[in-house]
Amino acid sequence: MMTDNLEPLFKLDKYQREAKHQSVFYQQDILSVNQFTKDDMDYLFHRTDEMLAMCRRWGTADLLKDYTLACVFYEPSTRTSSSFISAMVRLGGKVIPITEGIQYSSVSKGESLIDSMLTLEQYCDVIVLRHPEIGSSATAAKYAKVPIINAGDGAGEHPTQALLDLYTIKSELGTLDGLKVAMIGDLRNGRTVHSLTRLLSQYDVSLRFVSPDTLRLPLDLMNDLIDKGVKVRETNKVADVIENADVLYVTRIQKERFSDLAQYEEVKNYFEITPELMEQAKQKMVVMHPLPRIGEIHYKVDRDPRAAYFRQVQNGLYIRMALLAAVLGQA
């Protein structure tokens, strides 16, 4: 972890920082993992290391004291909304939180997404948006003058979650190359799986997809992986992958994505990671989950040192601090 130059970075005034630290992310929308190269991720992970060190050393900084974030969530969220708000506050910025009652805003009167964004940009420097429709963040970015950060667009993508997931894997295992990563659960609707899979495809990894037949990875994404030469395998049994996996990335079956609840009832308890199952896993590996969990990981597994999902949550704070600072030209 690089800490030698922390103090100069966090104590420069706004205009000095803007002249010295303007990354490729400056004033850029963050909409899809497809916009990130390996070099981009290396840069961002280095900045994330600095944010982690800063939090441990000082707790807060004034890096974004002159900036305001609008946090706009049309769908429920605990971790993503809270970590973005915490990230902005820890960097000295201000927040307009629209996360616990979008129904009480002018959306309830029929206001369009575009008009909401054009209104909010009058008050802030960056907008974090979660919306149930695929492509909604791209639509918002087309019209808004301030940067839009996609915090999840339906079953589409969740780029900042994928970045914190990738950072967690690297932090826990020391590398991203040569790993066997098993994705488990709702792979059809899981935007976290879609985004992380695309990022992992830039590295030398083997991917295992474990799901009920009705919730398999979308065919277009599977074909993209095959075209890139990524080693892939599909199964419907965790037992087929548990012994060799370096990463178990577990996801919940997403009830809200089902139009037929009878289909959900058929698959809702399809998987459970238990202490007994973990006895078959390697000693050096990690279990991850984007959360919330609904029963797919037994609570007793939390005591296993290989259970990394709450460390994963903490990493979300540092990644989002780094990303906000970079987008606003302060990292």
Enzyme catalytic residues: 79-80, 109, 130, 158
Q: Which residues pair with 297 in a beta bridge?
A: 273
| Assigned token pair, 195 | 């985004």
> What span, in angstroms and rounded, lies between the C-alpha atoms of 232 and 271?
20
Number of Cβ within 10 Å of residue 253's Cβ equals 24
- Residue pair 134/103 in contact (Cβ under 8 Å)? The answer is no
> What span, in angstroms and rounded, lies between the C-alpha atoms of 55 and 309?
20
Distances (CA, A) of 304 to 183, 219, 300, 301: 19, 35, 8, 5
Side-chain-side CA neighbours of 103 within 13 Å: the count stands at: 3
> What span, in angstroms and rounded, lies between the C-alpha atoms of 63 and 61?
6
> What span, in angstroms and rounded, lies between the C-alpha atoms of 282 and 35?
34
> What span, in angstroms and rounded, lies between the C-alpha atoms of 291 and 297?
10
- Residue 178 backbone class (left: φ over 0; alpha: ψ -120 to 50; beta: rest): left
> What span, in angstroms and rounded, lies between the C-alpha atoms of 250 and 75?
21
